[in-house]
Amino acid sequence: MKKRLRSISMLLAATLIITVLSGCDRLGTELVDLMIIQGIAIDVTDSGYTVCVQTLNNAQSSFSNGENKAQSPSLEYHSEGETVAVALENAVTISGKEPMYAHNRIILIGEKAAKRGINDILDFFVRDYNTRPTVPIAVAKESDAKSVLEAKIESDLISSVVLEDILKRSNLFGRAVDARVLDTVNYSHDTTAALCLPAVITREDGEYKELSLDGTAVFNENNCLTGYLSDDETFGLMLINGKTDKGVFSLITDNNETVTLVMEKVNTRVEVAVNDEGVPEYSVNIYASCDVNEYLNGRSGHLGREAIERISQSGAAELEKLALASLSATLKDLNCDCFRFGRRLWLSNRKAYDGLEPRWKSVVGDIPYTVTGRVTIRRIGEESFLN
């Protein structure tokens, strides 16, 4: 009897749990009634913010063959509010659907909004339970975010998806900084480091527009946009910060050979030493293991030992050039520490850091540094072998 009672109570409990507690609180919501957010563009007005929320067009993808060419794959909702949270809530009200932030692929910030500062923009994305810390953030260079997100690209593509792919791929190859919500919060709270976000633009491409990466947006100590780095300067930044394993660059050797190298492994070491005057001196050592992807010398493609030696030396010089250009652009031109030099000093020599931290902004432009590059050629391709 006791055993039977136990079985019955367990069955009842299981039924209760399966029917009432399984799934999520959206159990009764149809897919078409969900606002599956793909991208959020944020711009500023005089009194607050405007947002453009790009969502999946659920009706389009609910056709039996999976798609309806007559409709766009995405929908955009626009709204305004005094804060980002209110503006987003208003967009939800316009759509009449339940928002789902978990699938958001990108947060795009307009240039004006970035200049005003991103601290107030970030809070919602840090606090809200439904948003993810891994969503990438980018700045719409020289335009508002809405026009980039709404850019008319090929009809069956969603701009948020394209932008996410561009950022991921470019980050892998050292052309875009890794700037997720998580990284953005970390950099924006570092008192000496400057926040860097990838900058994106639109280009005319006949009937459609083309989305493209265009360097890096650099923020000052108040987390307001202060300037941009070019593509090559961004590559140098990524090399120094050790944030890239791959990358492609071309060079011209002393013998006028044009060579394209593909990096297969990069190892960067940044060392800091404080001199007698209490000034920190940084030495950056970049080591890259590369494959020769292209070798143009006007004749045959045979590579000898001497040629490989030349390529290694020129490759090292090219890496040094890229790193020095990036250091000069950020430290001297923009007066920003994108390399976390301050933090590196804090970790290695706290006393020196404590003395410099309050006036870091004024000393950052005069920081002495040296860069040493080293390149090893790992493979030379299929064409012939050493002769």
The residue (of 88 and 153) whose beta carbon lies closer to other proteins is 88
256 is an interface residue for other proteins by CB under 8 A: no
Query: HEC string of the chain?
Result: CHHHHHHHHHHHHHHHHHHHHCCCCCCCCCHHHEEEEEEEEEEECCCCEEEEEEEECHHHHCCCCCCCCCCCCEEEEEEEECCHHHHHHHHHHHHCCEEEHHHCCEEEEEHHHHHHCCHHHHHHHHHCCCCCCCCEEEEECCCCHHHHHCCCCCCCCCHHHHHHHHHHHHHHCCCCCCCEHHHHHHHHHCCCCCCEEEEEEEEEECCEEEEEEEEEEEECCCCCEEEEECHHHHHHHHHHCCCCCCEEEEEECCCCCEEEEEEEEEEEEEEEEECCCCCEEEEEEEEEEEEEEEEECCCCCCCCHHHHHHHHHHHHHHHHHHHHHHHHHHHHHCCCCCCCHHHHHHHHCHHHHHHHHHHHHHHHHHCCEEEEEEEEEEECCCCCCCC
The residue (of 153 and 331) whose beta carbon lies closer to other proteins is 331
Minimum distance from residue 105 beta carbon to other proteins (Å): 13
Minimum distance from residue 278 beta carbon to other proteins (Å): 18
> Between 122 and 141, how does the x/- string for binding to other proteins read (CB under 8 A)?
----xx-x--xxx-------
Minimum distance from residue 186 beta carbon to other proteins (Å): 4
The residue (of 112 and 180) whose beta carbon lies closer to other proteins is 180
209 is an interface residue for other proteins by CB under 8 A: no
1 is an interface residue for other proteins by CB under 8 A: no
The residue (of 69 and 189) whose beta carbon lies closer to other proteins is 189
343 is an interface residue for other proteins by CB under 8 A: yes
Q: Which of 3, 24, 254, 306 binds other proteins (CB under 8 A)?
A: 24
Closest by Cα among 175, 318, 174 to 251: 318
Q: Which of 190, 210, 231, 264 binds other proteins (CB under 8 A)?
A: 190
The residue (of 281 and 354) whose beta carbon lies closer to other proteins is 354
347 is an interface residue for other proteins by CB under 8 A: yes
Give residues with Cβ within 8 angstroms of 176, minimum separation 6. 166, 167, 170, 198, 213, 216, 234
346 is an interface residue for other proteins by CB under 8 A: yes
Residue 261 CA to residue 38 CA, distance in Å, equals 36
The residue (of 3 and 299) whose beta carbon lies closer to other proteins is 3
The residue (of 272 and 316) whose beta carbon lies closer to other proteins is 272
Minimum distance from residue 198 beta carbon to other proteins (Å): 18
The residue (of 24 and 70) whose beta carbon lies closer to other proteins is 24
Q: Which of 1, 5, 21, 70 binds other proteins (CB under 8 A)?
A: 21
Minimum distance from residue 5 beta carbon to other proteins (Å): 12
13 is an interface residue for other proteins by CB under 8 A: yes
Assess contact for 40 and 54: CB atoms under 8 A: yes
Site for other proteins in 170-189 (CB under 8 A): 182, 185-186, 189
Region of 14-22, 109-117, 139-147, 285-293 interacting with other proteins (CB under 8 A): 14-22
Q: Mark residue 376 as left, alpha or beta (left: phi above 0; alpha: psi -120 to 50; beta: remaining).
A: beta
Task: Give ∠ CA 381-385-387 in degrees, rounded to 5.
Answer: 140
Please give the size of the binding site for other proteins, defined by CB under 8 A.
24
265 is an interface residue for other proteins by CB under 8 A: no
27 is an interface residue for other proteins by CB under 8 A: no
Minimum distance from residue 196 beta carbon to other proteins (Å): 14
Q: Which of 340, 352, 377, 380 binds other proteins (CB under 8 A)?
A: 340
Which residues bind to other proteins, rule: CB under 8 A? Answer: 9, 13, 16-17, 21, 24-25, 126-127, 129, 132-134, 182, 185-186, 189-190, 340, 343-344, 346-347, 350
